[in-house]
Amino acid sequence: MTSKVTYQGALRTTCVHLASGNEIITDAPTDNHGKGEAFSPTDTVATALASCMLTVMGIKAQGLEVDLEGTYAEVTKHMASEPRRIAKIAVRIVFAQAVSDKTQKLLERTALTCPVHASLHPDMEKDIVFVWP
């Protein structure tokens, strides 16, 4: 088992990663009857895409002896209705250090092959932008 998710009432869950004990809280968003005081479940999906992309690039960068420390992603989730779902995730990855054109292409291709990206429905739009210094 990977995690345990417990409904706390008032549209809130606590999610515990069993191997580490780390915990996150989710709330329903304000546009769907919630308090919006924490990540919503769909926020975690959108955020997981950026986190996964940065992680696999970090793995590739280690092998290339490239430092990605300070690189960050800005994530925007766009919802659709009927059925309510994530229609689009926009991720803007801003790199802290310059690298060669060849390394840029390798890292960008690596990001686009991350497991979360591969797991998202093909009809969901993914707008990925890479910003290099």
Same domain, yes or no: 83 and 111:
yes
Query: How many independent structural domains does the chain possess?
Result: 2
Which contiguous run of DSSP H or E holds residue 51? helix 41-64
DSSP class of 6: E
Same domain, yes or no: 11 and 64:
no
Which SS3 state, helix, strand or coil, does residue 82 take? coil
Q: What span, in angstroms and rounded, lies between the C-alpha atoms of 55 and 61?
A: 10
Range of 19's domain?
3-32
> Residue 72: which of 90, 50, 41 has the closest Cα?
50
Same domain, yes or no: 50 and 101:
yes
Per-residue pLDDT in tens (0 to 9) along the chain, 133 residues: 999 999 999 999 999 999 999 999 999 999 999 999 999 999 999 999 999 999 999 999 999 999 999 999 999 999 999 999 999 999 999 999 999 999 999 999 999 999 999 999 999 999 999 999 9
